[in-house]
Amino acid sequence: MLFWFLLLCVQLMLGWIRASELTFELPDNAKQCFYEDISVGTKCTLEFQVVTGGHYDVDCRLEDPDGTVLYKEMKKQYDSFTFTASRNGTFKFCFSNEFSTFTHKTVYFDFQVGDDPPLFPNENRVTALTQMESACVSIHEALKSVIDYQTHFRLRETQGRSRAEDLNTRVAFWSIGEACILLVVSISQVLLLRSFFSDKKTTTTRVGS
């Protein structure tokens, strides 16, 4: 029992290593590129999402080793693209915020290369799996789903918190502006009322006969 549990943990760790997952800051008027060596016939998936900044959009571009554009989207908030490598080499995918002049972005991406290795070396055999092996496979798939859900919920929570903080900042500045306007109007009204009730000095001119 302990052996199968340890084997499950090792296979889960190996599954994580096969994917590149990163959250990074993308300044305004900036472009960030990443590179991955991929073998021919390998199935890959690129998924990205803008977490914070501006209108939550970014340009994304994916190229093969020959420079051929496999994927290109402009001002996308999130997207997912799956492809199969047609040749060996280094693939490049870039995120661009060059269209923005003053807002930086926080971008999350997950680049998965290949399929997860089988949980057991003889999982694809003709004979059926044992009850213990079937349970381990079910737990493995369930844990992968949990990891995916946790990642998406963390991204949504981060995005929601960013929007709430931005809204709170706007409300604070708006409140300060209203307070200043109210103060100026109040002082102006007081001065105006005082001018109505202030005594005016009169001058008398004596005309000699």
Is 91 in the same domain as 137? no
What does the pLDDT look like over 111-147, one tens digit per residue? 988 877 666 666 555 566 677 777 877 887 788 788 8
Give the separation between CA 118 and CA 18, rounded to whole angstroms: 13
Tell me the pTM: 0.64
Return the percentage of the chain with pLDDT > 70, whole number: 79
In a domain, 26, yes or no: yes
- Of 28 and 123, the structure prediction assigns the larger pLDDT to 28
Mean pLDDT within 164-171: 88
CATH of the domain at 31: 2.60.120.680
Is 47 in the same domain as 88? yes
Q: Is the pLDDT of residue 99 over 50?
A: yes
In a domain, 105, yes or no: yes
In a domain, 53, yes or no: yes
87-90: long-range contacts, CB 8 A cutoff, minimum separation 24: 87/40, 88/38, 88/39, 88/40, 89/37, 89/38, 89/64, 89/65, 90/35, 90/36, 90/37, 90/38, 90/65
Phi/psi class of residue 148: alpha, beta or left (left: φ > 0; alpha: ψ in -120 to 50)?
alpha
In a domain, 207, yes or no: no
Is 77 in the same domain as 25? yes
Only one residue has tokens 């943990």, namely 9
Give the separation between CA 160 and CA 42, rounded to whole angstroms: 36
DSSP state letter for 114: S
Is 141 in the same domain as 167? yes
Q: Write out the residue range of the structural domain in which residue 136 sits.
A: 129-194
Looking at 118, 140, 164, the residue that finishes a domain is: 118
In a domain, 8, yes or no: no
Is 185 in the same domain as 136? yes
- Of 67 and 128, the structure prediction assigns the larger pLDDT to 67
Is 140 in the same domain as 105? no
In a domain, 13, yes or no: no
- How high is the pLDDT of residue 8? 44
Helices and strands in the chain: count of H runs, count of E runs: 2, 8
- How high is the pLDDT of residue 208? 56
In a domain, 204, yes or no: no
Q: Is the pLDDT of residue 1 over 50?
A: no
In a domain, 151, yes or no: yes
Is 29 in the same domain as 73? yes
Is 114 in the same domain as 135? no
- Of 114 and 19, the structure prediction assigns the larger pLDDT to 114
Strand ranges (E), 64-201: 69-76, 78-84, 89-96, 105-113
Is 80 in the same domain as 147? no
Is 62 in the same domain as 148? no
Number of domains in the chain: 2
